[in-house]
Amino acid sequence: MKGRVIALDSLDGREAAALIEDGRLSDLLIDSDLPRPGTIYRAIVERPMKGQGGLFVRTPDGAGFLRQVKGLSPGQPILVQVTGYAEPGKAIPVTARILFKSRFAIVTPGAPGLNLSRAIRDDDRRDQLTLLAKAGMDGRAGGLILRSSCETASEDDISHDIALMADLAEAVAADADGTEAEKLTEGEGPHDLAWRDWPTEALWSDQEGAFAEHGVPEMVDALRRADVGLTGGASMAIEPTRALIAVDVNTGADASPAAGLKANLACARELPRQLRLRGLGGQVVLDLAPMPKKDRRSFETALRSAMRKDPVETTLVGWTPLGHYEMQRKRDRIPVAQVLR
């Protein structure tokens, strides 16, 4: 099926959302029992972790780990926001840089200033949005970012979104003081995240059985397998371990001199989608198909281009002495294998 579909339904009794582009699963969000990214706590500072550049805080959902902070003392309350999912047995990753994010606006209490998405290039539209931003934040503390979705949105919708996020920021700030750890806001679930972050130009399908209608269960079943077929008969295997995500690339039956490069380029184009759909983050190590060192630049260019289109923050680290390629990927999703049995 051509076009873009956003399907809202559930998987194994968990709220889920699927983005399907031209009949191919492009993104997948599944809820879990863990604290959602975006959740805001009034946390209580506990002990610092010497040598790790951070400290533990106490939240209603367990210990959180806060990096790069100074001037905090044990017992002090502090507002923190969940930034991702914790690895099993580890503390919840949190930040003191709180963001209030909606479809059109992001209010930044700790970073004053009015900013527009660089994706909005029309000068007249930028001028209109600047006036909206100034009016919406007039007399309010903090900063504002207007997102790329504002380019085609109505002024009323944008103004409403700004007011909603600014009011929420003020309400949370008013609850900052206290002696007990408390959850102040809940992070958004898959359906709300789909509305907030996915393309506005899409067919929305939220009736009962939406996933079955669009073949989502069969697409999800493919994510349970390690092997992924690539163009030209090549393949890659994606296998999570306790320490890292291992990706092995194979050329298949192609025995031509350029087989390794072709397989590796196919891997570069497909890897962001596969990691995103599988909810995999952390250290990623690629054991690529054999190719001459002179072809490494072509692979890096293809991988960098593919990662720029991916919403998950990823750092391309580079080559190891053994010829593997390493990446570091944010854990802002829960692994599919962990929530679906």
Q: Is the pLDDT of residue 51 over 70?
A: no
For 254, phi then psi, to 5°, come to -70, 120
* Rounded-to-integer distance, Cα 332 and Cα 81, Å: 13
Which residues does 48 contact at the CB level (< 8 Å), separation at least 6? 54, 55, 56
Residue 38's pLDDT is what? Answer: 96
Tell me what pLDDT residue 135 has.
Answer: 96
Write down the pLDDT at residue 95: 95
Regarding predicted confidence, which is higher, 51 or 257? 257
pLDDT computed for residue 110 by the predictor = 85
Please, which pLDDT band fits residue 94 given cuts at 50, 70 and 90?
very high
**Average confidence score pLDDT of the chain:** 94
Q: Are 80 and 57 a contacting pair, CB within 8 Å?
A: yes
Q: How far apart are CA 313 and CA 330, in angstroms?
A: 6
Measured between alpha carbons, how far is 76 from 226 in angstroms, rounded to an integer?
46
pLDDT value of position 71: 81
Model confidence, pTM = 0.90
Q: How does pLDDT run across 141-176, given as a tens digit for each residue?
A: 899 999 999 999 999 999 999 999 999 999 999 999
DSSP, residue by residue, 261-310: HHHHHHHHHHHHHHHHHHT--EEEEEEPPP--GGGHHHHHHHHHHHHHT-
By DSSP bridging, strand 100-101 and strand 113-116 are: unpaired
Coil, helix or strand at residue 227: strand
Q: Which two tokens stand for residue 250?
A: 């194979």
Assess contact for 216 and 24: CB atoms under 8 A: no
* Mean pLDDT, residues 133-141 taken together: 94
Q: List the one residue out of 186, 196, 146, 188 whose CA is nearest residue 166.
A: 146
Q: Give the separation between CA 55 and CA 65, rounded to whole angstroms.
A: 6
Beta bridge partners of 92: 64
Compute the average pLDDT of residues 182-196: 97
Residues 6+ apart with CB under 8 A from 306: 268, 269, 271, 272
How many Cβ atoms are within 10 Å of 244's Cβ, its own excluded? 15
Model pLDDT for residues 275-315, shown as the tens digit of each residue = 999 999 999 999 999 999 999 999 999 999 999 999 999 99
* Coil vs helix vs strand at 258: coil
CB 327 within 8 A of CB 312: no
**Does 69 have pLDDT greater than 90?**
no
Mean pLDDT of 32-50: 92
236-275 pLDDT, tens digit per residue, is 999 999 899 999 999 988 889 999 999 999 999 999 999 9
